Chains A and B, each alone.
Chain A
Amino acid sequence: MNHIERDMAALSDAEADRLPTYPIACGVNRKLLGDNVTYSMWCKDPKIFANGFIAGQKYFDFDFAIGLMDLSVMAGDLGAHVRMDDENTPFVDKHIVHSLEDYEKLEVPDIRKGRSHVIVEGTRLFNEKLKNEVICAAFLEGPLLALTQTAGAERVFMDMFTDPSAVHAGLRTMVEFDRQMVEAFSETGVAGLVWDYLWGNYSCLGDEEYNEFEGCDKYAGMLNKLTADSGMALCIHNCADLPHLDTQVKKFKPVIYSMAYYPLIPDSPSAGEVIDKGYADNCLIAGNIDPQMFIRAKTEKISKVTSDLCQEVKTALCRRGLKSRYCIASGCEVPPDRATKLDNIKAVVDTVKRDGVLEGC
């Protein structure tokens, strides 16, 4: 099978030669473009951004390509100050909401400029090059994530409690920002759009709060429908520790759901448990190698972890009567550090090719 045949088989739970794999390697791909290419260069130039994914595909032989940049793109374009070190993931260091009135003042920026433009144009470029090889998807911050990045998470959470109407005012602007980005991404030709709905996790919000400030009946529900109506497959990424699986998998109904695993957190679901509980019945679950292993583990160790995960997944799929609906991935982005070992990314892919082979139950 080629990559796309394998992806399509896994998405529909048909017979596949092996499990698909996609360690979420994005910014780290710049290392393949030369030592002089810094993170800040990669995330500010659409061509360099795209070339990173193209080089990554050639070197690692992934089954998917997802255009994740970082989580300060929207906040930065909204006017928050982004600290942009050469080799660190950029992050917001000065928020722009200092009073309840400030939520009302947020305005959607011109998405033909700034890093919104970079990510849209860069996604278009890598999709053009890779679309016949792998399934390509764009990546976008959900409205609540974009607002917390802009206003500060602590501020937003407390205002949810005391002044929810102000938070909703800010969210309406984020939804309009997201709506314009969905439109722009739909014109790039990508097959899917991955939403980062990070705050749907029980370490931060309960069902009631999540439903009020992002959930099914609110902003996310509308944006999910818009995604599908715009011709892109709905995908979700949530690397938090206790994701709202019933809402984000069963109610949102994405075709792909990418999640992490935190073995030290009680109730954090393992790959086997996620499959056993039926979340892979209608959705390709992607997970859950610890991203830290790409920096800190020896190659033999990450190969062993990948091999064990393949076995766990294959056993659970059989137990559940499923054929192929799990993608061996990294839960969160592979750290884009200079210190990340490219050999470890390759080891994951190579191990899945060997130990992810599906031979029937």
Chain B
Amino acid sequence: MNKEEILNGLSEAVILGKPDQARSYAQRSIDEGIDPLDAINNGLVKGMSVVGDRYAAREVYLPQVLMSANTMYAGLDILLPMIPSEELEDKKKVAIGVVEGDVHDIGKNIVKTMMTAGGFEVKDLGRDVPIETFISVAESIKTDVVAMSTLMTPTMDGMKDVIDGLIESGYRSKVKVVIGGPPTSPEFAEEIGADHRDANAQDSVAWLKEALF
């Protein structure tokens, strides 16, 4: 099997949502000596980009997107450890999570997937994340982005608390803060001092790339 076939196999696995196929091709790419970064970018990520475009065009829906994301991570679990750490140093880092008091994380997971596919190194803080955790993680791993989401109105103010905490700690000027979730809006982002709020994951990633690269 040549390199092109392996990369296509990785892409196809993601597009079709087949994690076992992704694991198999990821292992083959290592066995064949393909650069793991090449396998990620031109295999897994390429496939996820196709799925993202199809989702935006409403040709596929959430079940397929979630399975594709699951598949991409199955491949990444094998390929990422193969990349020498110095090659990852240039990657922009994101800390992402659902703010304290809320556990609805589908939207956050879609954004995380698109950020990973977009070349970011994503630290997923999970859901119901305490304010202090966003701040301490941002500082300790020196993230370039703090991304927060919520579905529930009562927890929206937690986003402002995180931003205020970043200001207090002196780290605010070093990060872009993006927010998301149905009750949020660009006006709310401006009100609380966030940098951006977008309507969907892909546009948010595109904005970050523009802002950071």
Residues of A within 8 Å of B64, CB to CB, are: 161
The answer to whether A91 and B104 have CB atoms under 8 Å apart is yes
A89 to B150, CA, bound (A): 13
CB within 8 Å of B: which residues of A? Answer: 83, 85, 87-89, 91-93, 153-154, 157-158, 160-162, 202-206, 209, 241, 262, 264-266, 291-292, 295-296, 335, 337
Interface string of B124-160 (1 = CB under 8 A from A): 0000100000000000000000000000111100000
The majority secondary structure among interface residues of chain A is loop
B58-72 residues at the A interface, CB under 8 angstroms: 58, 60-64, 66-67, 70
A295: chain B residues within 8 A (beta carbon): 153
Contact string, B99-142, partner A, CB cutoff 8 A, digits 1/0? 00111111001000000000000000000100000000000000
A and B contact pairs by CB, cutoff 8 A, 9 listed: A89-B153, A91-B103, A91-B152, A93-B128, A160-B63, A203-B62, A205-B61, A206-B60, A209-B61
In the assembled complex, B183 has its CB within 8 A of some CB on chain A: yes
Alpha-carbon separation in the docked complex, A204 to B182 (Å): 14
Residue of A nearest to B55 (CB): A203
Q: Within the complex, what minimum Cβ distance (angstroms) separates A154 from chain B?
A: 5
B188: interface (CB < 8 Å): yes
| Residue on B nearest A240 in the bound complex, by CB | B182
Is the C-beta of B193 less than 8 angstroms from some C-beta in chain A? Answer: no
Q: CA of A265 to CA of B102 in the docked complex: distance in angstroms?
A: 23
Shortest CB–CB separation between residue B64 and chain A, in angstroms? Answer: 6
Q: How far does the Cβ of A206 sit from chain B's closest Cβ, in whole Å?
A: 5
B83 at the interface (CB under 8 A from A): no
Known: A92-B103, A292-B153. A265 touches B62 (CB 8 A): no
- Contact of A157 with B62 at beta-carbon distance under 8 Å, contacts A93-B103, A241-B182, A292-B183 already known: yes
Report how far A262 CA is from B103 CA in the complex, Å. Answer: 22
| CA A89 to CA B103, docked complex, whole Å | 12
With a cutoff of 8 Å between Cβ atoms, the chain B residues found around residue A204 in the complex are 61-62
Cα–Cα, bound, A296→B188 (Å): 9
Within the complex, the shortest CB–CB distance from A4 to chain B, in Å, comes to: 32
Whole-angstrom distance between the Cβ of A249 and the nearest chain B Cβ = 19
Q: Is the CB of A205 within 8 A of B63?
A: yes
Beyond contacts A204-B62, A265-B199: 10 other A-B pairs, Cβ-Cβ < 8 A, are: A91-B152, A93-B103, A154-B106, A154-B109, A157-B66, A158-B63, A206-B60, A241-B182, A292-B185, A295-B153
Residues of B within 8 A of A162 (CB): 17, 67
Contact call A89/B154, Cβ cutoff below 8 A: yes
Residue interface mask B176-205, A partner, CB < 8 A = 1: 000000110110100100000001100000
Q: How far is the CB of A171 from chain B (nearest CB, A)?
A: 14
User: 4 smallest A-B Cβ distances: which pairs?
Assistant: A335-B153, A161-B63, A157-B63, A204-B62
Could you tell me the distance between the alpha carbons of A307 and B21 in the complex, rounded to whole angstroms?
57
Partner-A contacts on B (CB < 8 A): 17, 58, 60-64, 66-67, 70, 101-106, 109, 128, 152-155, 182-183, 185-186, 188, 191, 199-200
B101–chain A nearest beta-carbon distance, Å? 6
For B105, the chain A residues whose CB sits under 8 A away are 154
Residues in B with CB closer than 8 Å to A205 are 61-63
Which residue, B70, B105, B106, B153, has most C-beta atoms of chain A within 10 A? B153
Q: Complex Cα distance A120/B191, Å?
A: 41
What chain B residues lie within 8 Å of A337 (beta carbons)?
153-154
User: Which residues of A sit under 8 angstroms from B102, Cβ to Cβ?
Assistant: 91
Docked complex Cα distance between A92 and B63 (Å): 21
A161 and B154 contact, CB distance less than 8 A: no
Beta-carbon nearest neighbor of B102 in chain A: A91
B150 to chain A, nearest CB (A): 11
CA distance A239 to B109 in the complex (A): 21
Nearest B residue to A39 by beta-carbon distance?
Answer: B154
Q: How many whole Å from B99's CB to the nearest CB in chain A? A: 12
Query: Residue on B with the closest CB to A294?
Result: B153
Query: Do residues B153 and A291 form an inter-chain contact, with CB atoms below 8 A?
Result: yes
Q: For residue B103, which residues in chain A have a CB less than 8 angstroms away from its CB? A: 83, 91-93
Q: Give Cα A87–Cα B154 distance, bound, in whole angstroms.
A: 8
Q: Are B154 and A88 neighbours in the complex by a CB distance under 8 Å?
A: yes
A335:B104 contact, CB within 8 angstroms:
no
Task: Give, as a whole number of angstroms, the nearest-CB distance from B155 to chain A.
Answer: 7
- Residues of B within 8 Å of A89, CB to CB, are 152-154
